[in-house]
């Protein structure tokens, strides 16, 4: 959920706080795990969380769910 080739290339530390961890745990429990169970195989996540600097570097929207790990759950 945190790994990013862009962050590595640009030297951006994609840090996450406790609230963002909690948000991503909800995403995993309520959405991703049920999807994995339904399809019976792992689900590949390209981007779950981006710090503001990383979000800007990839051209993400300023109010992107990525910056909070909050997907409206």
Cβ-based neighbours of 58, under 8 Å, separated by 6 or more:
6, 50
8-state DSSP, 19: H
Kindly state the percentage of the chain with pLDDT values over 90: 84
pTM of the model: 0.82
Residue 55 in 3-state DSSP?
helix
Model confidence pLDDT, tens digit, residues 10-45: 999 999 999 999 999 999 999 999 999 999 999 988
Spell out the domain ranges in the chain.
5-67
For residue 70, pLDDT over 90 is answered with no
């Amino acid at each position: 959920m945190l790994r990013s080739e862009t962050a590595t290339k640009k030297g951006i530390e994609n840090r996450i706080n406790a609230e963002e961890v909690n948000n991503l745990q909800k995403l995993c429990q309520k959405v991703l795990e049920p999807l994995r169970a339904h399809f019976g195989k792992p689900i590949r996540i390209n981007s779950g969380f981006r710090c503001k600097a990383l979000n800007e570097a990839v051209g993400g929207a300023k109010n992107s769910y990525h910056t909070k790990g909050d997907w409206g759950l």
